[in-house]
Amino acid sequence: MHPHPFGDVAIAGVYNTPQARRLPDHTSTSIALAGAVGALADARISPGEVDGVVGPASAEIALELGLGPCTRRPSGLGIPAVLDAAALIVTGQCSVVVVAAGGAGVHTDATSTAPWTRPANELVVSYGLFTAAEFALMARRHMLTYGTTSEQMATVAASIRNNGHVNPEAIYFGRGPFTADDILASRMVADPFHLLDCATTSEGGCALVLVAADRASDTPAPVWILGGASDSFGPAYMVPPVWDFRARHGGECFGRVGAQAARASFAMAGLTPDDVDVAELYDPFSFEIIRQLETFGFCPEGEGGAFVNDGNIAPDGRLPVTTDGGTMSFSHAGVSAQQLQRVIRAAQQLRGSCATRQVEGAEVAMSSNGGAGALFCDVLLLGKERP
Amino acid sequence: MTLLKAQARGIPTPSPSVHSQPYWDGCREERLLFQRCASCGFSALRPSTVCASCRGTSMAWEQSAGFGSLYSWTVVWRPPDPSFSVPYAPAIVRLDEEFWLMSAIIGCQADDLHDGMRVGVMFHPVSDSVTLPYFSPLDPV
């Protein structure tokens, strides 16, 4: 089999700015810019070498860092942005690409949920739907079909929140430790989700630097792209999130969004779920972890609840999950940064540079983005060694 | 015990498109309309000009009898904005004509909600121009 061209792309730099509930001195652009500067310093690459910028503030970063004329891709969230950056490199359009994102000063109305959680679409707006309710409709169907329980979901939330509890860089550092009972005792938001089953909201920025393989040899700690793909069924939060709905005859249903992307990613990498040492899974709601574990093939469909109950996702388990605290405890700065942060944490695990919850000897890491309630799910596999 | 009720006026209301206007016009007349492909019979998740199954362009409006089964639901206690009264129960209903609808259940207790519960449409005005379809249990609970 020919090696996939992504094998010629390295992630040479990663950086998280300080994350906080509020960063009053920043805008979304300025905190993304701070992320870009930090990631370039981490890679020991001069900003003058950058010839591509990807992310919501790509044009602004090109201007502020004086990078023009350069390539910019304004769209792309998280893993799709990383895949776009890798494609720019393997097609020879760019040689050093910064992927940056940030959120600050966006969520200022405390009487409402964050603006990015509230869909305005005509078919859902009057029914009071928001992200928690959309994901709850998926979780409920899984509970009815497979007997998945609130206690199993709470076990996920406690595990991830405890990873944040010990992480000094997490906005909820020191807020635990949590037991599943603590999660179940928090107030109900959208049944079956209690407050502590849900992501928090915060502010912060982050960035990655991607380079071609020949440039990576001069950087201190490159990690490698083994495979990646994206699944989407349509726009998020505009139509009923029906678990069993199939857009194609014989295709995957909405509830298994990400299954095809995972299969494609593993095929690109020549790996299986058994090869993954650590999974930096996107955790907007506790149930979504259970769903992804099934959908990505770490356990059979319907057995995700039992898989987490058996301790598999704990720091000393078979598959440590979301080791920095994720969107529940580390940070959730809008629509984009926290998705890139799953990739950043996976890179840090492979470097062996995590100050807390380092998975010893990790050689293959998975990252994911999105989730069933949003009708999209992205997968990325990273490796310590060049494929 | 908490009775699930329709929302009062003041909640966010839909902005129909040229493609969805017939649906909202139907609601105002207390008729539940849905689109079905005249070629292959497929019903989409939202109004469209193309059939997502056969890719034909023969989507046509029909009137539903308004009966269906509860497929999934949540009970919300923290609303997205303060105009909503809690608790309320957003729900996905599978209509007997084999289409899916996002709505909410009213007229029963939150604890009464169960898989496959038979429900019927109830129209409720939430502004001078917008009437929302809700669903209530058909059988005593």
Q: How far apart are CA A154 and CA A36, in angstroms?
A: 35
Tell me what the pLDDT averaged over chain A comes to: 96
Which of A183, A191, A197 shows the shortest CA–CA distance to A133? Answer: A191
CB contact under 8 A, A188 and B77: yes
Interface of A with B in 25-44 (CB under 8 A): none
User: Does residue A283 surpass a pLDDT of 70?
Assistant: yes
Query: DSSP letters of A48-112?
Result: GG--EEESTTHHHHHHHTT--S-EEE----HHHHHHHHHHHHHTTS-SEEEEEEEE-S----TTS
Counting one residue from chain A and one from chain B, the pairs whose CB atoms sit within 8 A come to 118
Phi, psi of B33 (to 5 degrees): -100, 150
Residue A108 near chain B (CB below 8 Å): no
Q: Is the peptide bond before A69 cis (omega within 30 degrees of 0)?
A: yes
- pLDDT on residue A1: 54
Q: Is the Cβ pair B81, A141 closer than 8 Å?
A: no
Chain A, residues 115-134, CB within 8 A of chain B, namely: 117-118, 120, 122-130, 132-133
Q: How many CA atoms lie within 13 A of A3 on its CB side?
A: 11
Q: Does a structural domain hold residue B50?
A: yes
Confidence of residue B34 (pLDDT cuts 50, 70, 90): very high
On whether residue B11 sits in a domain, the answer given is no
pTM above 0.90, yes or no: yes
One-letter amino acid at B18 equals V
**B10 assigned to some structural domain:** no
Percent of chain A with pLDDT over 70: 99
With a cut of 80, say whether residue A2 has pLDDT above it.
Answer: no
Average the pLDDT over B66-76 and give the result.
98
Report the complex ipTM.
0.97
Give the whole-number percent of chain A exceeding pLDDT 90: 91
Residue B58, min C-alpha distance to chain A (Å): 18
CATH number, domain A5-103: 3.40.47.10
B7 belongs to a structural domain? no
The pLDDT of A276-283, averaged and rounded, is: 98
Report how far residue A181's alpha carbon sits from residue A178's, in angstroms, rounded to the nearest whole number: 8
Q: Based on the structure, what is the number of domains in chain B?
A: 1
pLDDT score at B125: 96
Sketch the domain layout of chain A as residue ranges.
Answer: 5-103
